[in-house]
Amino acid sequence: MIESSTMYTTNDLRKLGIGTTMLGRARRAGVSAVRVGKCDWYYGRDLIAWMRKMDRNASDCEVAAVATAGTDSGA
């Protein structure tokens, strides 16, 4: 579980199931890393906000898909 008050390295996140593909998506969406030495660190609060936004967007897409599901039948 990611905590908002904690910073995570890519290694930490990998152990939590967030790999390089997801981190790439997060960074493209605006989640920034802080470089300390040779490691990139991510704020938990930024990752949580990104995940909530992704979840909200997925829910919006599902609602839109259900709302338009019957309109393509030609009825």
Residue 44 near residue 8 (C-beta atoms within 8 A): yes
Report yes or no on 72 lying in a domain: no
- The pTM of this model reads 0.72
If one counts every other C-beta atom within 10 angstroms of the C-beta of residue 9, the result is 14
Q: Which helix (H) or strand (E) holds 65?
A: helix 44-68
On whether residue 20 sits in a domain, the answer given is yes
The count of domains in the chain is 1
- Flag whether 44 is in a domain: yes
pLDDT tens, residue by residue, 1-49: 899 999 999 999 999 999 999 999 999 999 999 999 999 999 999 999 9
Tokens matching residue 46:
């930024």
73 within a domain of the structure (yes/no): no
Residue numbers of the domain that contains 32 = 7-66
Pairing of strands 7-9, 33-36: unpaired
Q: Are 20 and 10 in contact (CB under 8 A)?
A: yes
pLDDT at 57 over 90: no
53 in a structural domain: yes
Please give the DSSP secondary-structure letter assigned to residue 24. H
Q: Is residue 1 part of a domain?
A: no
Quick check: is 75 in a domain? no
